[in-house]
């Protein structure tokens, strides 16, 4: 019996495998173009994901990812008991929250107002100028800020001249000003850039809507609030999901440049703490555990924001 | 149909234009300030009071910066890194994007799923750092190039663009006997200038402005990009390493570490500032594709 069936099965398998080989041969160029991309992702995306296991180990550089001894959740427990834990959470969420609060609506407002400009040429010029800061690095911008916010800097000169300050303040040396500095400088840098998407959404609105409203006697503000803003609400929803899911990211580049030992109590955010523990203090396992904690919260935030927005507006990322 | 602007409209227009002018001023002024400072004598600038125009015009700051071999090396590293990585990134990512898009590609769904996961989850800084070290990329120029060759988010932007291309072109090329690679290089790429320019700008700006890789992966000062150099000079406020290079000593020139920083900032920022207005029409489009299909 067996001998009667197996050749058939074997034949079937072989021809399936042959078909596979044949197909592979047919698309060998295509696969040769695709597979290097897959290999790149395995090396640079998936090996680091595998490397997360050291969060549950006591990583020993001589033993490597696999052979280092397991320690269970010890690294996480240590982080939750860390005296800076709550401070770090507060800074991470606080900075992001204020960036969201101020930095999210302003580009929308900017786009709407820009759209109301009568002269097309002036509008273009303003737009081009508004993109400029996006192309300046945080290092350069950080350099300007350190110069301006120092005790002899421009900000102090102006504030003392108009009488708001009696004594110059070294703004970056005091934790209480740090959040404000990050929020304002980020808004300055990204206002125009973040408005692009809303401007495009506004440009996509059917002009007939405005014409009809004009015929009905709608004024400028009515049109702004009854047509422009509702028409771009889908875009606003999507951008909001992205912004909320990024709540645990507090712009590493910016804070890394602006931080110093004096403002550490306000500038230690999760990403910075991972850097300090991992790269500076060589506590690889501990830093990886902190990073993993952040990734999980970020993922939960993304899914929640997506779900809530879907319920409220029918718009979602996935 | 034109309707005569009402008084309220006029007031609003004036308000709006004024507001936009203020925004433009606030945007441009910090940049203008660095330029002015960099063209002023350093010691004189320290006295303060320079706002809109250099008081004692000089090119000394720039002369000193350009005579500093560390800065010129760092500048060249940045140029090399940006050009090489951007070129490879655009070509490689576009190639993979095109291959991943073709329906007959075996494993296509798995490949795309693998990529999508990377958009939402990653290993984080430390596993990445350890990987780079174990790959032997630490402290080599290639650390800028190989890890920077591919990005799945950009792949999606490419795909959104390629999808709009007429499929008949590929089919007729196939009948003429062209293989997939030839179709990609001879037909797809030449038709994709707008999206190539967009991604090239994004990747180029990232590589030009990145200082962090230089901070964590590079030890050798001959390999550090100019942003890393600048970061070190700015962050270590006491550093006088720039001044140490001033030819003829510090005493004979009126440069200060502050005025040198400003000149370096101008040199660092200038290339990008010169380029972006011309690429504006491309990146606006590219950003939209990315946002909608992403």
Region A23-52: mean pLDDT is 95
Residues 63-82 of B with CB under 8 A from A: none
Q: Would an 8 Å CB–CB cutoff place B238 in contact with chain A?
A: no
Question: What ipTM, to 2 d.p.?
Answer: 0.90
> Which 74-133 residues of chain B touch chain A by CB within 8 A?
92-93, 95-96, 98-100, 102, 104-108, 111, 114-115, 118, 120-131
Report the C-alpha gap between B154 and B90 in whole angstroms. Answer: 9
Q: What is the pLDDT of residue B246?
A: 52
Quote the mean pLDDT of chain B. 88
Question: What pLDDT, on a 0 to 100 scale, did the predictor assign at position B30?
Answer: 95
Give yes or no for a contact between A305 and A238, defined as CB atoms under 8 angstroms apart.
no
CA distance B247 to A224: 61
Render pLDDT for B206-231 as a digit per residue (tens, 0 to 9): 999 999 999 999 999 999 999 999 99
Question: Averaged over A94-108, what is the pLDDT?
Answer: 95
Give the pLDDT of residue A33: 97
Are B209 and B230 in contact, with CB atoms under 8 Å apart? no
Q: What is the mean pLDDT of residues A173-196?
A: 95
Angle of the B7-38 helix axis to the A105-115 helix axis, nearest 10: 120
Give the per-residue pLDDT at B242.
Answer: 53
Chain A contact for B219 (CB, 8 A cutoff): no
pLDDT at B226 (0 to 100): 95
Q: What is the pLDDT of residue A10?
A: 54
Q: What are phi and psi of B222, to 5 degrees?
A: -70, -15
Average pLDDT over residues B169-186: 87
Asked if the Cβ–Cβ distance from A33 to B99 is below 8 Å, we say yes
Nearest to A254 by CA among A183, A166, A158, A313: A183
pLDDT band at A2 (very low <50, low <70, confident <90, very high): very low
Flag the least confident range among A54-63, A302-311, B26-35, B237-246.
B237-246
Of B231, B260, B267, the residue nearest B246 (C-alpha): B260
Q: Give residue B127's pLDDT band: very low, low, confident or very high (50, 70, 90).
A: very high
Identify the pLDDT of residue B241. 52
Judged by average pLDDT, the poorest of A2-6, B115-119, B159-163, B217-221 is A2-6
Instruction: Let me know: does B64 contact B254? Beta carbons within 8 Å.
Output: no
**What torsion, rounded to 10 degrees, do the Cα atoms A209, B15, B273, A201 define?**
-20
Going by C-alpha positions, the residue among B158, B157, B187 that lies closest to residue B170 is B187
Picking from A176-190, A288-302, B46-60, which range would have the lowest pLDDT averaged per residue? B46-60
Q: Is the CB of A137 less than 8 angstroms away from the CB of B1?
A: no
């Amino acid at each position: 019996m067996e001998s009667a069936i197996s050749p058939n099965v074997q034949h079937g398998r072989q021809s399936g495998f042959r078909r596979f080989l044949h197909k592979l041969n047919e698309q060998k160029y295509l696969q040769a173009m695709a597979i290097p991309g897959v290999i790149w992702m395995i090396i640079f995306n998936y090996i680091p994901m595998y490397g997360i296991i050291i969060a549950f180990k006591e990583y020993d550089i001589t033993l490597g990812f696999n052979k280092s001894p397991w320690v269970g959740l010890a690294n996480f427990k240590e982080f939750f008991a860390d005296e800076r834990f709550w401070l770090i959470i507060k800074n991470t969420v606080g900075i992001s929250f204020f960036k969201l609060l101020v930095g999210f609506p302003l580009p929308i407002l900017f786009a709407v107002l820009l759209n109301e400009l009568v002269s097309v040429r002036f509008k273009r010029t303003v737009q081009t100028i508004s993109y400029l800061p996006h192309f300046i690095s945080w290092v350069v911008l950080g350099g300007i800020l350190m110069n301006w916010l120092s005790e002899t800097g421009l900000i102090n000169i102006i504030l003392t001249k108009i009488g708001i300050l009696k004594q110059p303040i070294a703004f970056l040396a005091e934790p209480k000003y740090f959040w404000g500095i990050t929020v304002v400088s980020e808004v300055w840098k990204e206002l125009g850039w973040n408005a692009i998407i809303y401007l495009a959404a506004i440009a996509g609105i059917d002009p007939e809507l405005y014409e009809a409203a004009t015929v009905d006697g709608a004024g400028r503000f009515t049109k702004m609030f009854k047509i422009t803003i509702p028409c771009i609400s889908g875009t606003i929803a999507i951008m909001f999901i992205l912004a909320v899911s990024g709540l645990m990211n507090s712009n590493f580049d910016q804070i890394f440049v602006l931080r110093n030992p004096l403002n550490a109590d306000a500038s230690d955010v999760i990403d910075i703490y991972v850097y300090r523990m991992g790269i500076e203090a060589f506590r690889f396992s501990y830093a990886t555990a902190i990073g993993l904690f952040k990734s999980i919260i970020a993922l939960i935030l993304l899914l929640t924001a997506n779900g809530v927005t879907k319920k409220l507006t029918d718009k979602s990322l996935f | 149909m034109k309707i005569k602007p009402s008084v309220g409209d006029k007031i609003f227009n004036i308000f709006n234009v004024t507001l936009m002018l203020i925004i433009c001023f606030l945007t441009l002024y910090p940049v203008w300030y660095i330029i002015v400072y960099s063209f002023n004598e350093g010691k004189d600038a320290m006295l303060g009071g320079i706002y809109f125009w250099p008081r004692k015009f000089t090119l000394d700051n720039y002369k000193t910066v350009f005579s500093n071999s560390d800065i010129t090396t760092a500048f060249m590293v940045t140029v090399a890194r940006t050009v090489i990585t951007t070129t490879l990134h655009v070509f490689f990512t576009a190639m993979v994007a095109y291959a991943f898009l073709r329906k007959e590609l075996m494993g296509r769904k798995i490949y795309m799923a693998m990529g999508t996961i990377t958009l939402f989850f990653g290993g984080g800084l430390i596993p990445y750092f350890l990987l780079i070290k174990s790959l032997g990329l630490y402290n080599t120029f290639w650390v800028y190039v190989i890890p920077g060759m591919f990005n799945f988010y950009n792949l999606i932007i490419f795909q959104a663009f390629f999808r709009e291309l007429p499929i008949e072109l590929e089919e007729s090329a196939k009948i003429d006997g062209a293989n997939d690679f030839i179709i990609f290089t001879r037909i797809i790429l030449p038709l994709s200038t707008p999206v190539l320019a967009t991604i090239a700008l994004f990747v180029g700006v990232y590589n030009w402005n990145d200082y962090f890789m230089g901070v964590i992966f590079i030890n050798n000062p001959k390999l550090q990009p100019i942003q890393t150099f600048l970061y070190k000079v700015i962050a270590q406020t006491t550093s006088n390493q720039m001044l140490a290079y001033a030819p003829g000593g510090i005493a004979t020139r009126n440069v200060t570490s502050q005025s040198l920083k400003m000149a370096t900032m101008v040199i660092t920022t200038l290339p990008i500032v010169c380029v972006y207005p011309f690429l504006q029409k491309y990146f606006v489009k590219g950003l939209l594709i990315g946002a909608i299909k992403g």
